[in-house]
Amino acid sequence: LHRNAGETEFHQAVHEVLETLGPVLVKYPEFADKKIIQRICEPERQIIFRVPWQDDKGEIHINRAFRVEFNSALGPYKGGMRFHPSVYLGIIKFLGFEQIFKNALTGLPIGGGKGGSDFDPKGKSDDEVMRFCQSLITELYRHIGEYTDVPAGDIGVGSREIGYMFGQYKRITNRYESGVFTGKGLDWGGSRARTEATGYGTVYFTQEMLKAQGDDMEGKRVLVSGSGNVAIYAIEKAHDLGATVVACSDSSGFVLDEKGIDLETLKRIKEVERQRISNYLEYHPHAKYISGGSIWSVPCDIALPCATQNELNGSDAKMLVQNGCIAVAEGANMPTTPEGVQVFQAANLRYGPGKAANAGGVATSALEMQQNASRDSWTSEYTQRRLREIMVDIHTSCYETASEFGCEGNYVMGANITGFIKVARAMTAMGVI
Ligand code: NDP
């Protein structure tokens, strides 16, 4: 703990993985001999740097940025960049650590990394965001590359920010190295279905958890927290599969629309106007807006937390269980607190942890890298089919691994063990590096 003092989210993520690995070390004692656990918890490289930039009035601001290159046993470091005022080393390390196992679960050749900055894009002009991104890349460019480290988006980083970062990288390096970023625009090397992939993938994973019990999404009442990239496309896919999403949120409150959240309105408010979710009522006055309330108090069959870490605590989990919720799948990373996870597991509810349920985003990023490497561009149908197959495979391997280790239906055990064994085998094969 003293090596990583104060990094509470990182401690939480490590604890959650390590507490499931006991049976693996019994079955594979060589992993203990080779000190895989100790090595996997220490990032291979951590970069912290200053990002100075000027706002539209000429005032100078200084932000701090991070890139944690956690593990490259399976491929180049891969993981998003997060721009949010809460960002500090502990958040980036938790995200990078989770990413190792998530990326392994996809079955694709990608290692784990994550980055970000305490920069707040809210209320900034396009020009200010551009100047910030350019300044950040002026340092970060020397650490990334298609064979080294491949960043993407996360909270506060979408195709606008990726565009500015990629543009600056291209300018400094004098190389059109498409594979250095994923989440690019379709006209300049992006993959079809990448924007939708995390949200769609989370719903596919939910569908598989339900199918394993002879059920499906049709007719289900769903809550989705957040109203950003992951939330919007989780809502879209849930509606496609016959469910009704009745509520979604942002950090100020949530909207309840018993007729089902209108996706066109949501996309206009969030993707075009970059407004707050409360604006939904201007278009749909019959809906309700609850400022500051917990979205998890609304009765539902399925809950999809798609906003941020630790947004669903023990009492939220109890409310969901009492109200008859049968499945929870995490579109966000570590949105459920450890107390919340305990409640779900005690209630025997289907609970899909983020590293399995939201792996569709990074999986499609790896498909974007494949398209860039072969200078190809796949159709939406083909890319979505690959995404769906990958999510079904992730579900199957988590389910089967959990059963093999005597805890059928425990997707936390299944995801952690499956991901860990893949990385541990590669690390063992590569010697003590
Ligand atoms: P966006 O920035 O597009 O959206 C984030 C959403 O979450 C917004 O509605 C935001 O509301 C809300 N939110 C952010 N911080 C808080 C907070 N502290 N409390 C309550 N609500 C908050 O991000 P994404 O949709 O890309 O990411 C959402 C989650 O999904 C994150 O956990 C991310 O790590 C994870 N994820 C994302 C992937 C991707 O492909 N984008 C891939 C895998 C996981 P507000 O506007 O009020 O801040």
pLDDT tens sequence across 108-133: 999 999 999 999 999 999 999 999 99
Which residue puts its alpha carbon closest to atom 4 of ligand 1?
A: 228
pLDDT digits (tens, 9 = 90+) for 354-375: 999 999 999 999 999 999 999 9
Is the CB of 359 inside a 6 Å radius of any atom of ligand 1? Answer: no
Residues 231 and 207 in one domain: yes
Q: pLDDT-derived band of residue 250, with 50, 70 and 90 as boundaries?
A: very high
Is the CB of 155 inside a 6 Å radius of any atom of ligand 1? Answer: yes
Percent with pLDDT over 70 in the chain = 100
In the numeric block, which tokens belong to residue 95? 């995200």
Residues 182 and 208 in one domain: no
- 220 given a catalytic annotation: no
The pLDDT assigned to 17 comes to 98
- Establish if 370 belongs to a structural domain: no
In the numeric block, which tokens belong to residue 252? 């100020």
Residues 335 and 352 in one domain: yes
Query: Which residue is catalytic, options 93, 114, 124, 170?
Result: 114
Residues 98 and 229 in one domain: no
Which residue puts its alpha carbon closest to atom 19 of ligand 1?
A: 251
Residues 66 and 160 in one domain: yes
Residues 142 and 217 in one domain: no
pLDDT digits (tens, 9 = 90+) for 53-71: 999 999 999 999 999 999 9
pLDDT of 156 higher than 80: yes
Q: pLDDT-derived band of residue 2, with 50, 70 and 90 as boundaries?
A: confident
Strand 302-305 to 327-329 pairing: parallel
Residues 204 and 125 in one domain: no
pLDDT of 297 higher than 90: yes
Is the CB of 332 inside a 6 Å radius of any atom of ligand 1? Answer: yes
pLDDT digits (tens, 9 = 90+) for 254-265: 999 999 999 999
- For residue 157, what is the DSSP state? B
In the numeric block, which tokens belong to residue 418? 């499956």
Which residue puts its alpha carbon closest to atom 42 of ligand 1?
A: 361
From 250, 266, 273, the mutation candidate for ligand 1 (largest count of ligand atoms within 8 A of CB) is 250
* CB 248, CB 236: distance < 8 Å: no
Report the length, in residues, of the chain: 433
- Establish if 378 belongs to a structural domain: no
- Establish if 178 belongs to a structural domain: yes
Which residue puts its alpha carbon closest to atom 31 of ligand 1?
A: 332
pLDDT of 1 higher than 90: no
Q: pLDDT-derived band of residue 148, with 50, 70 and 90 as boundaries?
A: very high
The pLDDT assigned to 248 comes to 98
The pLDDT assigned to 416 comes to 98
Residues 70 and 171 in one domain: yes
CA of residue 305 to ligand 1 center, whole Å: 10
In the numeric block, which tokens belong to residue 280? 């939904």
CA of residue 274 to ligand 1 center, whole Å: 14
| Residue found by looking up tokens 């551009």 in the block | 130
Percent with pLDDT over 90 in the chain = 99
Domain that holds residue 241: 195-357
The pLDDT assigned to 244 comes to 98
Is the CB of 230 inside a 6 Å radius of any atom of ligand 1? Answer: yes
